[in-house]
Amino acid sequence: MVEYRLDCLGEACPVPLLKTQKKMAELQVGDILVVEVDHSCAMKNVPEWARKEGYNVEIEETGDGEWDIYIEKTK
Amino acid sequence: MKKNAIDKEENVVETKTVVTNRAAVRPRKKRRNQLPFAIVVFLGVIYVAYLLAGKSAGLAISWIFGICFGVVLQKSRFCFTAGFRDPILTGSTSLTKAVIIAVAIATVGFGAVQYAAASKGGAIAGSISPAGWHVAIGSIMFGIGMVISGGCASGTLMRVGEGFVMQWITLFFFVLGTLWGVRHWAFWQRLFFDGAPRVHLPSVLGWPLAITLQLVVLGALYIVADKWGNRQKD
Amino acid sequence: MKLENNKYFKAVVKEAWPYTVGAVLLALLNISLFIVTGSAWGISGTLLNWGAKLYQAVGGQLQNWFYYSDPARLRALETPFFSHGGSLMNLGIIVGAFLASLAASQFKIRKIKSVRQVIAAIVGGLLMGYGTRVAFGCNIGAFFSGVASFSLHGWIYGIFIFVGAWIGSKLLVKYFM
């Protein structure tokens, strides 16, 4: 199981989600992607997409207006 | 040929170790509790409202409504841009559906207000402007602009308040853009505005048909959006 | 008991609200605004007001402009900012968003990451601004309030803003990512 970090700090909407979608497609089942965002929309639309895909999602606030979104590729 | 930034993968760091303690991966940032600042700003908002009310109730009302719009937009991360962009770009229609809900509820409320005024013989108020090809051209321009800049009119103002420097720039050029637009007013008026009528649907179709039709269409759009958003699951 | 651990504080102040809640509240606010002031919510008209005032402030003469040959339009610019309802409303939106993010301790100055973002902001802003003048409004004034007002122009706006969003998406992915 490999953990990858995707730095999306400073990206405008909807770049974090687009980059996440692309990266998740490359992961193996069991891998985890940690997406770093500071966009208030991204902390909503990235987890929403990931959950819809059936992945496990955890979100952690890591700073003022900054979040780490943990996505586990479960299938 | 210009390479797409994603392919460069410059932002992805691979850590091949299995992570057992997440807190150890990234040094914890010093978190500031901003609530005290929020309280100060809140008191400031009240104070400004008080000052404005001294001049005119209408001004205080505009201020408070603005504050409310800003709070709601930010808290719910409401983004009209995403509503129009995401069905194609990311496959999500959650904001599309939210926008439809907002428009549908407003339809009922606005309809009631207009109907009440009309049945007393009064004028019909609201945002009713000339309908014609200029609307298509202008909204296409707006649509392109909002997606490129990452926010529509409400979204830009909201993000200005959230601290997005990119939207500070966007707002400035949005303002310049409006000025540029009216610079060419004669051109657009001669070509489009002069021949374009203001069309108030209930005045043309009658109230029952107009309201029913609008709500039915919005309902149908909601169902389509819902189906579209779910089909990506397979 | 710590305020931050209170579940109501968390749900209302700290956490993001569902989109549907936002939709309902925005609609109710717009309706209330319409009832109380007789005018629906709009944003871009005020932005033009700001632009015109800015132009005058740097010495520009608007009297020669065809648009401002209408004396009422020129007179409308004489209202000072803090006596202008639209300006107070737009400023209120900015302050409201500022307040909401502060209360959740989520305010952060998000700096520019690349030149591409600057270009996108400039081009996007200009397109939006110009487009609102041609189409008689923005996503709020022309679309949200327009459709709610049963105006045909609102529906046309809603259909073609989709087209614009589609074009914008293609440009975004190709040039601005």
- What would the mean pLDDT of A22-47 be, rounded to a whole number? 96
- What would the mean pLDDT of B189-216 be, rounded to a whole number? 97
| Amino acid symbol at B71 | V
Residues of the domain holding C119: 110-177
Task: Quick: pLDDT tens for C14-54.
Answer: 999 999 999 999 999 999 999 999 999 999 999 999 999 99
Name the CA radius of gyration of chain A, rounded.
Answer: 11
A35 forms bridges with which residues in the sheet? A6, A69
Determine how β-strand A56-63 pairs with β-strand B12-15.
unpaired
Name chain A's partners: 3 or more CB pairs within 8 A.
B, C
How high does pLDDT run on average in chain C? 96
Does residue B82 sit at the C interface (CB-CB below 8 Å)?
no
Determine how β-strand A32-37 pairs with β-strand A3-7.
parallel
Instruction: Chain C: give the shortest CA distance to residue B10, in Å.
Output: 12
- Residue C29 is assigned to a structural domain of this protein: no
Cα distance between residue B83 and residue C150, in whole Å: 20
- A40 CB-contact burial (10 Å; exposed 0-12 / middle 13-18 / buried 19+): buried
Confidence label for B12 from pLDDT (cuts 50, 70 and 90): low
B4 forms bridges with which residues in the sheet? none
Alpha helix stretches (DSSP H) within chain A: 15-26, 42-52
pLDDT value at B9 more than 80: no
- Residue C143 is assigned to a structural domain of this protein: yes
Structure token digits, residue C152: 């045909």
A37 forms bridges with which residues in the sheet? A67
Q: Which of C16, C101, C120 sits opposite A65 (nearest CB)?
A: C101
Cα distance between residue B115 and residue B120, in whole Å: 9
DSSP state of C55: H
**pLDDT attached to residue B19:** 40
pLDDT value at B29 more than 80: no
Structure token digits, residue A9: 């700090």
Q: Quick one: residue C75, left, alpha or beta (phi over 0 = left, psi -120 to 50 = alpha)?
A: alpha
**pLDDT attached to residue B187:** 98
Sequential DSSP letters for chain B: -PPPHHHHTTTEEEE-SPPS-GGGTSPPPPP---HHHHHHHHHHHHHHHHHHHHH-HHHHHHHHHHHHHHHHHHHHT--HHHHHHHHHHTS--HHHHHHHHHHHHHHHHHHHHHHHHHHTT-PPPS---B-SHHHHHHHHHHHHHHHHHT--HHHHHHHHHHTBHHHHHHHHHHHHHHHHHHHTHHHHHHHTGGGPPB-BHHHHH-HHHHHHHHHHHHHHHHHHHHHHHHHTT-
How many beta-carbon pairs under 8 angstroms link A with C? Answer: 31
- What would the mean pLDDT of C136-149 be, rounded to a whole number? 98
**pLDDT attached to residue A20:** 97
Tokens 């509790």, residue located: B33
- Residue C56 is assigned to a structural domain of this protein: no
> Is residue A55 within 8 Å of residue A72, measured between CB atoms?
yes
**pLDDT attached to residue C1:** 54
Contact yes or no for B70 and C93 at CB 8 A? yes
- Residue C165 is assigned to a structural domain of this protein: yes
Window 65-84 of C: residues touching B by CB (8 A cutoff) are: 65-68, 82-83
First to last CA, chain B: 34
Contact yes or no for B181 and C134 at CB 8 A? yes
pLDDT value at B13 more than 60: no
Instruction: Chain A: give the shortest CA distance to residue B143, in Å.
Output: 14
Cα distance between residue B190 and residue C124, in whole Å: 26
**pLDDT attached to residue B26:** 57
Catalytic one of A13, A40, A44, A74: A13
- What would the mean pLDDT of A12-41 be, rounded to a whole number? 95
Cα distance between residue A59 and residue B164, in whole Å: 22
Whether a cis peptide bond, with omega within 30° of 0, leads into A14 is yes
Instruction: Chain C: give the shortest CA distance to residue A61, in Å.
Output: 9
Confidence label for B147 from pLDDT (cuts 50, 70 and 90): very high
Question: How many distinct structural domains can be found in chain C?
Answer: 1
Cα distance between residue B220 and residue C104, in whole Å: 37
- Residue C134 is assigned to a structural domain of this protein: yes
Contact yes or no for A4 and B92 at CB 8 A? no
Q: Which residues of C touch B85 (CB under 8 A)?
A: 165, 168-169
| Amino acid symbol at A37 | V
Closest CA to B140 of C62, B162, B148: B148
> Is residue C76 within 8 Å of residue C116, measured between CB atoms?
no
Q: Which distant-in-sequence residues (6+ apart) come within 8 Å of B216 by Cβ?
A: none
Could you tell me how many residues make up chain A?
75
Vertex C86: Cα angle to B143 and C134 (nearest 5): 35
- Residue C154 is assigned to a structural domain of this protein: yes
Task: Quick: pLDDT tens for B38-83.
Answer: 999 999 999 999 999 999 999 999 999 999 999 999 999 999 999 9
Q: What is the crossing angle of helices B153-162 and B133-149, to 10°?
A: 20
Cα distance between residue B157 and residue B144, in whole Å: 18
- Residue C155 is assigned to a structural domain of this protein: yes
Q: Which residues of B touch A (CB under 8 A)?
A: 6, 11-19, 22, 25-26, 28-29, 31-32, 34, 74, 77, 79, 81-82, 85-86, 89-92, 94, 149-151, 162-164, 166, 232-233
Provide the whole-model pTM.
Answer: 0.93
Task: Quick: pLDDT tens for B150-168.
Answer: 999 999 999 999 999 999 9
Q: Which residues of A touch C173 (CB under 8 A)?
A: 18
**pLDDT attached to residue C79:** 96
Q: Which residues of C touch A (CB under 8 A)?
A: 16, 101, 105-108, 110-113, 117, 120, 173, 177
Does residue B229 sit at the C interface (CB-CB below 8 Å)?
no
* Residue A13 annotated to the active site: yes
**pLDDT attached to residue B5:** 35
- In chain A, the residue whose alpha carbon lies closest to the alpha carbon of B231 is A52
Q: Which residues of A touch C (CB under 8 A)?
A: 9-12, 15, 18, 38-40, 43-44, 61, 63-66
A32 forms bridges with which residues in the sheet? A3, A72
- Residue C39 is assigned to a structural domain of this protein: no
Q: Measure Cα distances from B114 to B69, B80, B126, C147, C177 in Å.
A: 23, 25, 8, 13, 45
How high does pLDDT run on average in chain A? 95
Q: Which distant-in-sequence residues (6+ apart) come within 8 Å of B163 by Cβ?
A: A65, C98, C101, C107, C108, C109, C110
